A = this chain, B = another copy of it.
Amino acid sequence: MGSDDALEDALVRTSFRVMAVLTRIGSDHDLSLTQLRVLGLLRDRRPRMTELAAFLGLDKSTMTGLVERAERRGLVARGKSPEDRRAVDVFITPAGRELAERVQEEVRAALAPFTDRLRADDRQLLTRLLDSVSAAATANQATRGTLSGPTG
């Protein structure tokens, strides 16, 4: 029988459930998963377009449209870098920050019913184990950046 893959399958299953929650709540605010991640990333960073694209694993040309639409809604803004006249900084606006925080609270509230069935000690245990898995992922991949701000 060797390895039985039960853990990997459980991770995939759970992740789809969590993503369904994020997609629904994002949709309530006209935000795609990607826009959600952009807002989350910008809560504590002021990257250039290229850096933001790298964080998200997207092409820089994709960022142009993403930032353009978010800017049109007043959620983020672009500023010229003083040092390098080619570069464009992206930062979150007060309205964008408010929205990001509201969404984060809604996501926490929406997930709570699914985790409430666990006892306090199991909750703590699960948190520790997930952090361990995520930390390994961070070490191996360039997939940082969640709703919750900086990860590592």
Task: Specify how many copies of this chain sit in the oligomer.
Answer: 2
Chain B positions within 8 Å of A16 at CB level:
37, 143, 145-146
- Decide yes or no: A15 and B13 within 8 Å by CB, A7-B127, A132-B117, A140-B114 being known contacts: no
DSSP majority for the A interface? helix
Cα A57 to Cα B17 in complex, Å, equals 12
B148 touches A11 (CB 8 A): no
Residue pair A146, B12 in contact (C-beta under 8 Å) = yes
Q: Are B7 and A133 in contact (CB under 8 A)?
A: no
- A66 on the interface (CB 8 Å rule)? no
Scan residues 99-142 of chain A and give those whose CB is less than 8 A from a CB of chain B. Answer: 107-108, 111-118, 122-123, 125-127, 129-134, 136-138, 140-141
Asked if residues A132 and B148 are in contact (CB atoms below 8 Å), the reply is: no
> In the complex, A36→B16 CA distance in Å?
11
**Please, which residue of chain B has its CB at the minimum distance from the CB of A17?**
B137
Q: Are B117 and A12 in contact (CB under 8 A)?
A: no
Q: Given A13-B146, A15-B14, is A57 in contact with B111 using a C-beta cutoff of 8 Å?
A: no
Cβ of A83 within 8 Å of any chain B Cβ, yes or no, is no
Task: Please give, as numbers and ranges, the residues of chain B lying within 8 Å of A151 by CB-CB distance.
Answer: 13
Interface flag for A84 (CB, 8 Å): no
Q: Pick the 4 closest A-B CB pairs, nearest first.
A: A15-B18, A15-B15, A20-B143, A10-B130
User: Which residues of A come within 8 Å of B, CB atoms?
Assistant: 3, 5-22, 37, 57, 107-108, 111-118, 122-123, 125-127, 129-134, 136-138, 140-141, 143, 145-148, 151
